[in-house]
Structure formats: C-alpha cells, structure tokens
Amino acid sequence: HKGIKATIIPIDASGDKTGAIDKTSTQQLPLAIQGVDFTGALDEALADGIVDVVVHSLKDIPPANRWRINTDEPRITIGAYLGPRENPLDVLVSREYESIESLPVGGKVGSASLRRQAQLLACRPDLEVMNIRGNVDARLAALDRGELDGLVLACAGLKRLGIPLDDNTIYKCNPIPADVLLPGAGQGIIAVTCRENDATTISLLREVDHHDNRIAATTERSFLDSVDHLSPWSGRPPVAGLMTPPASGEELWHFRGLLATPDGKKVLTVNKSLNNNNCNEAAALNLGRIAAADILTKAGDNFFDGYYKL
C-alpha cells in the first residue's frame, strides 16, 4: 500500500516447545485437554501497541469465549481474511500407508488434536492415537524413528512450510476426505488481527480482505463459537466445520458441522446451505448459529455424560 511503511517484528508464539510424545490409548484419551495457547504472546503485543497487526492461521485463534485477551480493553478483532484459501483438508503423512483405511490393525497415528482423535477413532476404533506435539520436524522425526505408522497434519501447514505433497518426498502425503476427517474451523485461512478501536488499520485491512474467505470463516467461526459457548460442558468439545463455495454452475454454498465425543463413539453432523445470491457476512453468521443450535439440540444435555465434569 502506497505511503505505508511496514516493519515485521518476530515474536516467539510457540504454544509448545517440548516436541514430546505421550502415548494416548483409545481408553485413556485426554478428555478435558487444555488447548495449546498459540496466540497469547501475539495478542499481548497487539493489545500493548507493540505491533499494529498480527498474522495468524485462523484455526489457531481460540473460540470467542476462550480468547483470553478479549476480557480486557482494547479488544482484538479479525480485520481481514487473506486469500485464496489453501486446501483446508487434513493430510495423512506416512512412509508406507496412503489412507486411514490402509493403516494396519492397531496402527499408531500421531495427533495432538482432540478433533482429529475423535474422528480417527470413529472411523478406526482399533487405532492407537498418540498425543504428539512440537513442530513439524519433531513430528516427522518420530515417524522416521518408527514410533508411528502415520501423522495427521494440516495440508495448508505443510504447503506453507514448503513440504511437497507429491512424489518428491520420502513420505506419502495424502489428503483425507472431509467425509472421513472434517477439518477444524478456519483451517487453511490466514487471518489478520488488529485492535478493535484502530479504525484506520481496520479500513486498510478491508482493502485486502478476501470475500469468499470471509464468508467461509464467518460461518465456521460462528458455528465453533456458538457450540463452544452454548454447550453445557466445561471441557472443550471436539468440533469441526467446513463451508465450501458453490461449485462451477451451482448457486449454493454448503456447510457441514460436526460434534463428537472424544473417543469417537458418538458423532453428530449437521448440513446447511446458503444461496450465493444471499451470501453476505450477516447471513453467514446466522447460518453458523443455526447449525450450532441444531447440533446442540441433537446432542441434548447428556451427550457428554461421563466425559466431562460440569
């Protein structure tokens, strides 16, 4: 943008530096797992005026009621969604296996995401889901040591790190279909946050905002925020959501949302659509809230009995 001088300020925002693996059996999942805080240091720098904008992977931003920085002023808002969206799907990374279905009986799969763990076990209850954290290199090293049969990672993250999803790598990297593993809300979208009271920056960010990403992000985040906020359980539930634009020659946006128990024994889904002619931010926000209300009605008050303490 002409007339604007920008300086990039690196901030260590790592939510987990250990890279350690803890075995997580199908009977002993971390049911009330606390989310890793990937945004806290960045949020504080923004609120304190050290920086004016922060660039995030949208899926790392917590649900609204868990976004701790917004309990105080100045509040933080998402000013722009940069586009186009990367592939939102998750990927199975393995040295031998090309799909979840092809993994061996009792196979070991690495993931620190409760959303992924629940859906993996719903599809393959025989699998051992290993709670693996750390950066991508640390996770791939565990795969190289033979401690895992596969890893589940975000396709977008691998691409942004320059890891090829083709035959030019020692790993088999195959996207997992959304009907097997529905992505997390906002996966594949880059979000830029700013202070809510910074009207000048908000105006500038609107110039680079990507319309389709705003529609998808608003729907998915609305669903996530509503389920997380309205659910009667103290633990953060496994939630997934994906809003896709109309295919060529079609007029409908399609949203699919999911709520599951951590062990994958109970999985609920909801499907909604929105006509492209009526597709604006307000309509997207409303669609996500309606989908959340529907899935919570299906779940009822006893869906998580035995999983979370109220």
34 token code pair:
């606390």
The DSSP H or E segment spanning 174 is: strand 172-175
d(CA 88, CA 178): 9
Query: How does strand 252-260 pair with strand 267-275?
Result: antiparallel
Instruction: Say how many CA atoms lie within 13 Å of 189 toward its Cβ.
Output: 30
User: What residue type is assigned to position 214 of the chain?
Assistant: R
d(CA 168, CA 40): 36
State residue 165 phi and psi, 5-degree precision: -105, 55
d(CA 30, CA 27): 10
User: What residue type is assigned to position 173 of the chain?
Assistant: C
Beta-carbon contacts of 285 under 8 Å, excluding residues fewer than 6 positions away, are 218, 219, 222
Q: Is residue 90 flagged as an active site residue? A: no
d(CA 158, CA 91): 9
Per annotation, catalytic residue among 60, 149, 198, 212: 60
Residues labelled as active-site residues: 60
